[in-house]
């Protein structure tokens, strides 16, 4: 399709070619990236920061509805991106700011990507999103018009330093935290309803997959506590492991249950304390690169802690499982209780394993989120559809 003044035009859908792929391709050899989006989350900013952005890159992000992760904007700021935020003002309410524009300056050309995609993991990769990719010659009138458009959006923003001095940033962090707390409470109510009616198990059993619908992973207690704290600041948790092979134990959208060590080290009192949803994102990279991209989202406060916990040397490549919707059970479910309820766990379990539909039902019931009658666990094969996790 020929468009006047456009050297190349390509429409796109995330389902065909995710925006992230087009963006990373354009960034190869680029001199600057300019971003104007309504909101941004850690799942989006981490992906582009890992690519190594040009030093002069800029981002102007909206704060409407408390949707942007404060940690994501701080991460970009500390990663060398010049960040401005669109807060409420007399001239503009932050909820009125809705652009989704990505401009990549390259030698002799400007690549413009624009559509429905915010700077989030879903927006860049997995959501149903549409966008246009246009390449303009530089210099050209059309290229200048794109830069002028971005500058108009940039002028709506205020630097993080200014927002901190005015106290608006602290106020926004509190608003974003409150929104996440309300979201979490709503999610817990919905989970409780879906579990008690069997809908959760029905949805899991209905997935057409050769991978497990549910998995239990050995979880470090400090990782668990830090992630509980961080869930009010970011949209995901990152679960790391020594093994860098593809993570095939869990289906996209499956439940990842967290088996947390007991503070006194008592094996029978190790407990499943909650679960997360696996969005199908798994990556491998050297530990230092992961730390630069994700920082404390890895569940450690310093890179050295990551080495110590895994017992690996610097430079070691690690695997990272992305998790969303981290949810606590109403009460921890110990291995002793699970074994007494007929859920087998080997003594001193040291690696994760898949869970059957019957076992999920027992965990939800004992954890206070689930089936109203424990006997339903025995009915799971007929009521929810028998699953075969050994395929």
Q: Are strands 8-13 and 130-137 parallel, antiparallel or unpaired?
A: antiparallel
Give the distance, in angstroms, between the CA of residue 61 and the centroid of all CA atoms in the same chain: 18
Residue 229 and residue 268 in one domain: yes
Place of tokens 């004992």: 366
- Domain membership of residue 261 (yes or no) is yes
Per-residue pLDDT, 45: 92
- Domain membership of residue 159 (yes or no) is yes
Q: Count each helix (H run) and each strand (E run) in the chain, helices first.
A: 14, 15
Residue 157 and residue 218 in one domain: no
Per-residue pLDDT tens for 202-247?
777 766 566 778 999 999 998 999 898 888 778 788 898 888 888 8
Domain boundary among 106, 139, 166: 166
Residue 229 and residue 119 in one domain: no
φ, ψ for residue 217, nearest 5 deg: -115, 140
Residue 214 and residue 349 in one domain: yes
Per-residue pLDDT, 209: 62
Domain boundary among 166, 192, 225: 166
End-to-end CA distance of the chain: 47
Per-residue pLDDT, 315: 83
Residue 78 and residue 194 in one domain: no
- Domain membership of residue 388 (yes or no) is no
Q: Locate 100 and state its tokens.
A: 């989704």
Burial code (b: 16+ CB inside 10 Å, e: under 16) for 40-66 equals bbbbbbbbbbbeebbeebbbbbbbbeb
DSSP 271: E
Residue 157 and residue 187 in one domain: no
Quick one: which of 170, 172, 157, 196 has its CA closest to 62? 157
Residue 314 and residue 349 in one domain: yes
Residue 119 and residue 262 in one domain: no
Establish whether the linkage from the previous residue to 139 is cis, with ω within 30° of 0.
Answer: yes
DSSP 155: T
Residue 251 and residue 347 in one domain: yes
- Domain membership of residue 62 (yes or no) is yes
Give residue 34's domain range: 8-166
The percentage of the chain sitting over the pLDDT mark of 70, rounded to a whole number, equals 92
State whether residue 269 is helix, strand or coil.
helix
Sign for the CA dihedral angle at 215, 244, 282, 241 comes to positive
Alpha helices in the chain (DSSP H): 19-27, 42-49, 70-78, 121, 141-154, 160-166, 168-197, 199-205, 221-230, 287-294, 303-310, 335-340, 357-366, 376-383
Give the distance, in angstroms, between the CA of residue 348 and the centroid of all CA atoms in the same chain: 31
Per-residue pLDDT, 187: 77
Place of tokens 């390259």: 106
Domain boundary among 109, 134, 166: 166
- Domain membership of residue 260 (yes or no) is yes
Place of tokens 């002069």: 56
State whether residue 218 is helix, strand or coil.
strand
The CATH number given to whatever domain includes residue 363 is 2.30.130.30
Residue 157 and residue 191 in one domain: no
Per-residue pLDDT, 165: 95
- Domain membership of residue 176 (yes or no) is no
Per-residue pLDDT, 375: 38
Q: Locate 191 and state its tokens.
A: 């989970």
Q: Are strands 158-159 and 82-86 parallel, antiparallel or unpaired?
A: antiparallel
Residue 62 and residue 95 in one domain: yes
Per-residue pLDDT of the chain (391 residues; tens, 9 = 90+): 556 678 899 999 999 999 999 999 999 999 999 999 999 998 899 889 888 899 899 999 999 999 999 989 998 998 899 999 999 988 899 999 999 999 999 999 999 999 999 999 889 998 999 999 999 999 999 999 999 999 999 999 999 999 999 999 999 999 998 988 888 788 777 777 777 677 777 777 766 566 778 999 999 998 999 898 888 778 788 898 888 888 888 888 889 999 998 877 788 889 999 999 998 888 888 888 888 778 878 888 888 888 888 888 888 888 999 998 888 998 999 999 999 999 999 888 878 889 988 898 889 889 988 654 433 444 444 443 333 333 2
Q: Report how many domains make up the chain.
A: 2
Distance CA 135, CA 131 (A): 13
Put simply, whether the predicted model's pTM sits higher than 0.85 gets the answer: no
Distance CA 314, CA 87 (A): 41
The CATH number given to whatever domain includes residue 153 is 3.30.870.10
- Domain membership of residue 2 (yes or no) is no
Q: Locate 142 and state its tokens.
A: 């059309």
Residue 154 and residue 193 in one domain: no
Under 8 Å between Cβ of 359 and 255? no
Quick one: which of 198, 380, 345, 342 has its CA closest to 271? 345
């Amino acid at each position: 399709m020929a468009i006047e003044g456009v050297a190349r035009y390509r429409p796109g859908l995330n389902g065909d070619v995710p925006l992230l792929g087009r963006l990373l391709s354009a960034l190869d050899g680029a001199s600057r990236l300019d971003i104007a989006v309504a909101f941004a989350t850690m799942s989006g900013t981490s992906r582009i920061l890992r690519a190594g952005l040009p030093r002069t890159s800029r981002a102007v992000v909206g704060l409407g509805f408390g949707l942007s992760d404060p940690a994501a904007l701080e991460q970009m700021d500390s990663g060398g991106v010049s960040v401005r935020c669109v807060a409420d003002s007399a001239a503009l309410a932050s909820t009125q700011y809705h652009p989704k524009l990505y401009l990549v300056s390259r030698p002799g050309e400007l690549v413009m990507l624009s559509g429905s995609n915010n700077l989030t993991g879903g927006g860049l990769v997995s959501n149903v999103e549409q966008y246009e990719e246009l390449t303009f010659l530089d210099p050209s009138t059309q290229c200048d018009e794109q830069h002028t458009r971005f500058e108009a959006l940039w002028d709506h923003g205020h630097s993080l330093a200014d927002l901190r001095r005015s106290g608006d940033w602290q106020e926004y962090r509190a608003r974003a935290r409150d929104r996440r707390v309300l979201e979490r409470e709503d999610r817990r109510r919905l989970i409780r309803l879906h579990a008690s009616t069997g809908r959760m198990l029905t949805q899991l059993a209905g997935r057409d997959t050769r991978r497990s619908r549910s998995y239990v992973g050995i979880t470090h207690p400090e990782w668990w506590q830090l992630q509980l704290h961080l869930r009010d600041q970011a949209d995901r948790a990152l679960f790391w492991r020594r093994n860098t092979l593809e993570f095939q134990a869990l289906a996209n959208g499956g439940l990842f249950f967290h088996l947390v060590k007991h503070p006194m080290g008592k094996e029978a009192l190790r407990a499943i304390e909650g679960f997360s949803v696996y969005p199908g994102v798994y990556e491998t990279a050297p530990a230092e690169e992961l730390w630069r991209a994700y920082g404390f989202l890895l569940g450690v406060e310093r890179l050295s802690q990551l080495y110590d916990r895994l017992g690996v040397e610097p430079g070691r490549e690690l695997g990272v499982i992305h998790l969303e919707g981290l949810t606590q059970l109403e009460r921890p479910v110990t291995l002793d209780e699970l074994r007494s309820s007929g859920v087998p766990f080997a003594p001193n379990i040291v690696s994760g394993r898949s869970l059957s539909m019957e076992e999920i039902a027992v965990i939800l019931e004992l954890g206070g989120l689930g089936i109203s009658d424990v006997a339903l666990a025995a009915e799971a094969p007929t009521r929810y559809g028998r699953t075969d996790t050994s395929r």
